[in-house]
Structure 1
Amino acid sequence: MTKHKDKNLIELVKGGSVSLVIKLIGMLFGYLSMLFITKYFGAEEWGIYSLCITVLSVAIIFPKFGFDTSLVRIIAELNVENKQDQILGVLLRSTLISIALSLVVIVAITLFADVVVSKVIRQPEMLYYFKIISIAIIPMALLTIYSSLFQALKKTAFFMLFQATLINVVFFILLIFYYNFEIDFSGTFNLYVIAVFIVLISLILFLVITIKKLNTDKVTKREKPSFGYLKIFKISFPMMMSSSFALLIGWVDIFMLSYYKTTTDIGIYNTTLKLAALSTITLMAVNAIATPKFGEFYVSKNIAGLKETVKNSTKMIFLTSTPILLALVVFAKPILGFFGEEFKIGYLSLIYLCISRFINAISGSVGYLMQMTDQQNQFQNVLIVAFVINLILNYLLIPKYSYEGAAIASGLSMIFWNLALVIIIKRKLGFWTFYNPLQNLRE
């Protein structure tokens, strides 16, 4: 048992470390891109770019249909049952559903772009970008879904590489190239879309090799698929709803800032969001390897192993994210000033966001744990309530306090859903996910 625990911990640390390094490289290029845009194009262009990314993130919620999470859960079960040869079928069915849903969203955007721009976003320049966003929907959705396959197979290096890192690297290279050669690219977001296409093509090539190897290494007799369209739908739909509200919680403040304030305000606030996200890099890195392990332990009914993995992952997240949060709080002003003097006024927003990220860190990977243990419906309900809380607080606070109000609203809603999920997991699985540095994980 001790050897098994040691092996489990080693796998978690090794996989998490590799993921962390790759994620750090991706974030480095992401911040270099942010610095490049803010320095050479100003807060307004950064605000437009941020708004485009927000709209694209919302637009692909329906096409993703929760597959980026549900495939991890499904493939974990196929691995436990030794049915790896069915993975390709699951992926193809998910792809067809995603493309069909993407076309629906593209048609909707084409029909209602004028209304959304004039009545909701209130940024006239966004009408042009809605056309570019439509082009990016299918490749972005497929990129998100396909990268999750590597996570499910515990190939965390490839998962982190294709999930975000390569896009940031290619995007930064394109920014430098187009700027130095004075090529008219009609907005930085256009270059981001080009980067998405380039990375998707690379991902598909790697995916073909991976799937071919799976079917070569493991060939079984033909049998009825364990996961047909209906079963995939039942698992994925609540996960899609959860990811929808999780994204809306994270981005509704941007939309409401665009309604009440200027793109400069959006640029300043989004910079504080990006900086606060530094504290979550270890959370993402640990989740990359921990999530499929959650699924496998649960499917095999190994609750002791599940608890031990949760305990170790939460401890890793806390110990690595706390120093980052402290540095961001203590040096908020000078760090923001690095992006330009106009960004310094957002220091309180950064502090508020860091407080909520601390609660997020000590709570552990509660969202993924819920979804890997067949509690996606409860997770969905908690996030719906958190979204309503966030929406009401944004409505009350943004008109008067601008980005500081948005940070308070976002922070309080994050604290709510983390604490709510911790309590639900204790009731359902029998253990706390909290990490207490003085007492270890409480029983």
Structure 2
Amino acid sequence: MNRIFLNTIINGVLRIASVGITFLITAFATRLMTPIEAGMFLFALSLVTVGSSFFRMGLDNVLVRSFGAEGITNETTLRFARGSIWVVILVGIACLLGLLLSETVAINVYGDHAFTPILRYVCLTLPFLTLVCLFGFSFQGIQRFFIANVLQNLGVRLLFVVFALVVYFDRGTIDAKAAFELFMFSSIIFSLLAVWLWYRQSAIDKTIIFDVFRRPKESLFDGELWKSSSNLWVAATMILLVQWSANITAGFFVEPELFAYLSAAQRTAGLISFVLIVINMTVAPRFAKLWKAQKIEELSSLARNSTLVMILAAMPLFFCAIFFSDKVLLLFGPEYSAGSHLLIIMATGQMINVATGSVGYLLNMSGHDKDFRRITLISGISSILIAVGATWQWGVEGAAYATAFAIAMQNIMALFMVKRRLGFFPLFAWR
């Protein structure tokens, strides 16, 4: 029990640090760059964030479950090697195409030739950042949470901030191209560090890795691994679309300055749902245990109590975003208070996310993952259509409304599915 509590505290502290460093990067870009440069940099950061999640192919959760259940064995080591090769092949092909088409995309889609070198850096960064995160989830599986959090969220961004500040104070200026070049170098450094940290473990048989290359036909494909990862890949991709489709769409449809306002509002609103991440890490295993024992009343009580804690913790941030939105956004610069209405819209969506509770984990931990996948498919596809239509019609405001609506829709659908499958609403007032 003490170890679980300690791990929860460590995870909570590191998650807070990760959220803080992400917020700091946004403030760094908006404070030290012109709105146009900040818009290009933040859009590129959104692309690489979404891309690194997509190209993990759903293997992150598979690896956590695999290493968590079996530890480091020859089988799990081989499984990780296979998955890593799949990821490298997929992201390598995609990034090669991206490099070849970067100028065309920058001019004809983004609408600015100046975005070409930044887009190329995005393509060069993606393979390294994706692998860093993949190693991070493997460390999470063997319960080395400090290293896992550093690789998943904190390390690359913290090193980037250090590099960027050094360059800024040396030159007195920094633009989007130089900033993303530093982000690429940070990703490369941490990918090498991740490989070294993982394979220096004595429990890992290094010869198994080379067997994959010596006998590719026999060793490369794993039907069971693909079945598990592909199902999770679909759900993870749909969740990404809900969270980011409007943001990415806005990057192509609105001016860079307005996109910078949207990014600042989105990252600030995201602080409201941070409490979900910390509490979910603690209650998810308990959900699974109580469901397996069919202790429905205890499961219902835990879900309601955790939801109450999340709402109480999120309320102060929500009220700040609603009533002091213009003052909050002054942290990014005086001109960013013009995006206060965007913060109000997106904060409302995040508060609905919190108020519905841990609905996704309740469905997944109780064996109703197919129901959750269907929900994410509906909400993910809908979010694309809504994002394109709303952004095309109403610009940056439409993107904000689309993000808030998509998040709310996904969570409300999951809320009623929990009621249908488990027999209760995970809202503290609904019994």
Q: Could you tell me the TM-score, scaled by structure 2's length?
A: 0.85
Structure 1 partner of 2:323: 330
Structure 1 partner of 2:202: 212
Cα offset for 1:214? 7.8
Structure 2 partner of 1:106: 95
CA deviation string 1:42-100 (max 9, x = no partner): 22222111111222234334531011222223344436xxx856432222221121112
1:34 and 1:151 mapped to 2: Cα distance?
Answer: 27
- CA change 1:359–1:45 in 2 (3 A) is same
Q: Which amino acid aligns with 2:271?
A: L
Is the CA contact 2:303–2:427 (under 8 Å) kept in the aligned structure 1? Answer: no
- CA change 1:313–1:142 in 2 (3 A) is farther
Is the CA contact 2:29–2:41 (under 8 Å) kept in the aligned structure 1? Answer: no
Cα offset for 1:202? 2.9
Q: Which amino acid aligns with 1:212?
A: S
1:244 equivalenced with 2:240 (yes/no) = no
Cα offset for 1:352? 1.2
Is the CA contact 1:75–1:153 (under 8 Å) kept in the aligned structure 2? Answer: yes
Cα offset for 1:428? 3.1
- CA change 1:377–1:114 in 2 (3 A) is farther
Is the CA contact 1:71–1:152 (under 8 Å) kept in the aligned structure 2? Answer: yes
Structure 1 partner of 2:132: 143
After superposition, residues 36-115 of structure 1 pair within 5 angstroms as 36-78=28-70, 86-115=75-104
- CA change 1:57–1:184 in 2 (3 A) is closer
- CA change 1:401–1:232 in 2 (3 A) is same
2:55 and 2:184 mapped to 1: Cα distance?
Answer: 17
2:21 and 2:116 mapped to 1: Cα distance?
Answer: 28
- CA change 1:307–1:338 in 2 (3 A) is same
1:370 and 1:252 mapped to 2: Cα distance?
Answer: 24
Candidates 171, 174, 189, aligned match of 1:198? 189
Structure 2 partner of 1:412: 405
- CA change 1:184–1:317 in 2 (3 A) is closer
- Counterpart secondary structure, 1:187: helix
Q: Could you tell me the TM-score, scaled by structure 1's length?
A: 0.83
Structure 1 partner of 2:419: 426
Choose 321-330 or 308-317, whichever is displaced more: 308-317
Cα offset for 1:421? 1.3
Structure 1 partner of 2:15: 23
Candidates 343, 346, 351, aligned match of 1:350? 343
1:188 equivalenced with 2:179 (yes/no) = yes
Is the CA contact 1:62–1:102 (under 8 Å) kept in the aligned structure 2? Answer: no
- CA change 1:412–1:202 in 2 (3 A) is same
Structure 2 partner of 1:33: 25
Cα offset for 1:12? 6.2
Structure 2 partner of 1:174: 163
- Counterpart secondary structure, 1:181: helix
Is the CA contact 1:239–1:376 (under 8 Å) kept in the aligned structure 2? Answer: no
1:157 and 1:320 mapped to 2: Cα distance?
Answer: 24
Is the CA contact 1:29–1:168 (under 8 Å) kept in the aligned structure 2? Answer: yes
Structure 2 partner of 1:128: 117
What is the percent sequence identity of the aligned residues? 18
Candidates 424, 431, 435, aligned match of 2:427? 435
Choose 182-191 or 198-207, whichever is displaced more: 182-191
2:311 and 2:139 mapped to 1: Cα distance?
Answer: 25
Choose 193-202 or 53-62, whichever is displaced more: 53-62
Q: Which amino acid aligns with 2:46?
A: T
- Counterpart secondary structure, 1:125: helix
5+ residue gaps, structure 2, are: 206-219
Is the CA contact 1:265–1:402 (under 8 Å) kept in the aligned structure 2? Answer: no
